[in-house]
Structure 1
Amino acid sequence: MTVAPKQFSEMAAVIVGGTSGIGFAAATALLHKGVPRLRLVGRDRHRAAVAVDELARVYAEADIGALPCDCSDGAAVERMVKQAAAAMSGIDLLVCSPGGNNLPELLFRQPIGQINQTLLQDLAPTLNACRAVLPVMMKQGGGCIVTVASDAAKVATPGESVIGAVMAGIVQFTRTLAIEGRRNGIRANAVTPSLVEGAALTGRLMAEGSFSQKLFEKARGLAALGPTTAEDLAELIVFLAGPAAAKITGQAISVNGGISAA
């Protein structure tokens, strides 16, 4: 049975990583579209409270809340999803933008223990959140998931061996999730930026270490259409979440200003 796609005015949304960066920009754009119920998920309670206050001042009519959670902890994610579903009477949209914390570095220079840490910090949150939300969406007969990875999933770049493996994992996970979820009316797509101007990680990339600075200065120069911003990504996330994208699933879409044809 085909379920009619929900309008923005009917949606309840959860945004993992919604307290800053791409996630916060997506939250703002979704509220602007009329999403009435939204929960921001992040590790930092104070940052989450500040983000909710900022949004509530502009969108006072919306039900906006925060759910502090470390999404690398599977049990904690399950509790968070149950709380969100109970508070909002369901979850129609999950956006996973937990962000990355690791700078590019050649593999032989990375401590061996850093690899597992990267997997836990950058891959596990998306997998955990999607797994936890699936039963909710299956029970209600549909839903939409948008994950945020990066073009490192598609373009082999020196210094991004582990980061690229993680991002490729998110992309392939999302594509497979789309195939598994389609019979339950669940769509899943990924967005893959390259360099995102104004993001905290980009600031670190340009300030710390000559290797990452040279790598991303070169990338910035290739963005002939202009540097990508969090707001650019948010617009794509909103489109993929909305009824106009009701037939789009299993895709990984790049937004990179022309750096590459990934």
Structure 2
Amino acid sequence: MEGKIALITGGSRGIGFAIARALAQRGAQVVVTGRDPEHGEEAMATLRAINPNAAFEAGEAGNHAAMTAIIERTVQRAGGLDMLVSAGATGPIGPTPFAEMSAEQIESSFNARLMPRIFPVHAALPALRARGSGSVIMVTTDAARHPTPGESVIGAVGAAIVLMTKALAREFSRWNIRVNSVALTLTTDTPAWDRIFSKPGFENRLFSKALERFPQGRAPSAAEVAEVAAFLVSDAASQVNGQTVSVNGGLSFGGW
């Protein structure tokens, strides 16, 4: 990936940071975004040790204008954009039975989880087209493919990303831009892991049961997810397009 420019939204922590590190280790110049400058500086301490040209941009992935400005600055600074990883989105509430959600929570959950995934793709498209080729990865959830109690809204948003991955891959192929997604399950070394198991409740009980069902005896790590994402976004996956790859340790199979 020497000479490639990669933008990773939500790249200051968790899955996004693990992907940014994997791309930087392969030679890419990475730009990560996040809402918290403090987390951004922590990420830079690691990423700039790998590539001194790594950069952090504070911004909300769900704000289209902010993402457009970040991409414009990235192009001006680095000379272009080759890869986008859309990994930044945090829902206002975790898994919750549908009957226990208010109308406001349902609406806010859709907006908070969906728009931060697709706005960066829309904002980055002109820069990717100008490059003459490119690759996009969106991070989604296996709840899109396998219904789980309490994850009706989370899964519905994930399913939207799976469908958009296929549709955008077809649309963008005219510009030689590939679009793929990585679907996650419970993953270690992430803020979500710490949140889930830090206190009792529905979410803790739900995922404690899931932990007991991994065929390999453990959940995947953020670094293992990042290896799959790094492959998909790379030229080595030039014939992989419109696909959603689950990194779930064999917890579930099948899908669409």
The answer as to 2:11 corresponding to 1:18 is yes
The Cα shift of 1:209 comes to 4.4
2:2 aligns to what SS in structure 1? helix
Question: Aligned partners of 1:192, 1:243: CA distance in 2, in Å?
Answer: 20
TM-score normalised by length of structure 2: 0.94
Question: Aligned partners of 2:120, 2:89: CA distance in 1, in Å?
Answer: 14
Matching residue of 1:152: 143
Which of 172, 187, 193 lines up with 1:181 in the alignment? 172
Which of 2, 5, 12 lines up with 1:9 in the alignment? 2
Which of 97, 103, 127 lines up with 1:106 in the alignment? 97
The Cα shift of 1:54 comes to 2.4
Matching residue of 2:83: 93
Of residues 45-54 and 23-32 in structure 1, the stretch that sits farther from structure 2 once superposed is: 45-54
After superposition, residues 22-37 of structure 1 pair within 5 angstroms as 22-35=15-28, 37=29
Matching residue of 2:121: 130
Question: Aligned partners of 1:256, 1:237: CA distance in 2, in Å?
Answer: 13
1:119 aligns to what SS in structure 2? helix
Structure 1 stretches of at least 4 aligned residues deviating more than 4 Å after TM superposition:
none
Contact 1:71 1:128 in 2 (8 A): yes
Which of 20, 36, 49 lines up with 1:44 in the alignment? 36
**CA pair 209-170 structure 1, distance change in 2 beyond 3 A:** farther
Of residues 152-161 and 70-79 in structure 1, the stretch that sits farther from structure 2 once superposed is: 70-79
In structure 2, list runs of 5 or more residues that go unmatched.
Answer: none
Question: Aligned partners of 2:201, 2:214: CA distance in 1, in Å?
Answer: 20
2:7 aligns to what SS in structure 1? strand
2:239 aligns to what SS in structure 1? coil
Identity %: 33
Of residues 26-35 and 246-255 in structure 1, the stretch that sits farther from structure 2 once superposed is: 26-35
Question: Aligned partners of 1:118, 1:208: CA distance in 2, in Å?
Answer: 21
Question: Aligned partners of 1:55, 1:242: CA distance in 2, in Å?
Answer: 19
The answer as to 2:203 corresponding to 1:216 is no
Question: Aligned partners of 1:151, 1:66: CA distance in 2, in Å?
Answer: 29
Aligned pair count reads 252
Contact 1:19 1:51 in 2 (8 A): yes
Contact 1:26 1:231 in 2 (8 A): yes
Contact 1:31 1:62 in 2 (8 A): no
Question: Aligned partners of 2:143, 2:200: CA distance in 1, in Å?
Answer: 19
Matching residue of 1:3: none
The code of the aligned residue for 1:197 comes to T
Question: RMSD across aligned C-alpha pairs, in angstroms?
Answer: 1.3
2:241 aligns to what SS in structure 1? coil
Question: Aligned partners of 2:253, 2:11: CA distance in 1, in Å?
Answer: 28
